[in-house]
Homo-oligomer: A and B are copies of this chain.
Amino acid sequence: MDYITDPRAIETKSMEIIDGLIGPLPVSAEERKVIKRVVHTTGDPDFAKLVRWSHGAVPIGIAALARGASVFTDVNMVRVGVNSRLLTIKGGNVVCAISEPRVVAEAERTGKTRAMTAFDLLAPEMNGAVIAIGNAPTALFHLLSLVEAGRCRPALVVGTPVGFVGAAESKEALTQADVPYITVTGNKGGSNIAAAIVNAMLLQMP
């Protein structure tokens, strides 16, 4: 079996193929790299038509990460998908809210989901942070209620919940919220996509 084994050569060739597949788009070079990385991580060129952001969200996210903002994730698959080597160079960390012992204990006490409990408890620490929600619509809905109530002010919310029950609605609510965002519309989404969007910004830090 003959195949390319150099990871850089694979990625370069992959990005060239993706460029051809998605064709010209009315976005900036920075934004295009976000779209391309989502297509790269899913193998699905349809995502070029599904990625949405608020005005300036991509440069806002890059700037936040470059000044050392941490990334708060809803699930461990997003946590391990984020390129923590690049993040920690600038001083940021990846925090998966649901795994903290105080979150587990408080969720058991109240009967609320761990994702909701996590954002409740960590809200004060999320000011200026990048939030990456790749799995649960409930986590995104709850985060938006905290933002609306003025309990936290993230620099950027990357919200890509997946599925047929509440996911599309949670992402629609994100586009109406008073916070910079990046999302993908519809039922498709997932933790791999949330991590890919964050990584595309980490790779573009000055």
Q: How many copies of the polypeptide does the oligomer hold?
A: 2
CB pair A3 B166 closer than 8 Å: yes
Q: How many of chain A's residues touch chain B, expressed as a range? A: 35 or more
- A77-B81, A191-B192, A192-B191 given as contacts; is B41 within 8 A of A162 (CB)? yes
Q: Would you call the interface of chain A mostly helix, strand, loop, or mixed? A: helix
Q: Is the CB–CB distance between B77 and A164 below 8 Å?
A: no
Interface residues of A in 180-198 (CB under 8 A from B): 186-192, 195
Residue of B18, B44, B112, B163 touching A14 (CB-CB under 8 A) = B163
Whether a CB of chain B sits under 8 angstroms from the CB of A167 is: yes
User: CA A167 – CA B125 in complex, angstroms?
Assistant: 40
Chain A contacts to B: CB under 8 angstroms: 1, 3-5, 7, 10, 13-14, 17-18, 21, 40-44, 76-77, 79-81, 112-113, 116, 137-138, 141, 144-145, 162-167, 169-170, 173, 186-192, 195
In the bound complex, do residue B43 and residue A186 qualify as a contact, i.e. CB atoms below 8 Å apart? Answer: yes
B5-A187 in contact (CB<8A): no
Q: Which residue of B lies closest to A186 (CB)?
A: B43
B138 touches A5 (CB 8 A): yes
Q: Given A3-B137, A190-B42, is A17 in contact with B162 using a C-beta cutoff of 8 Å?
A: no
Chain B residues with Cβ below 8 Å from A18 are 164
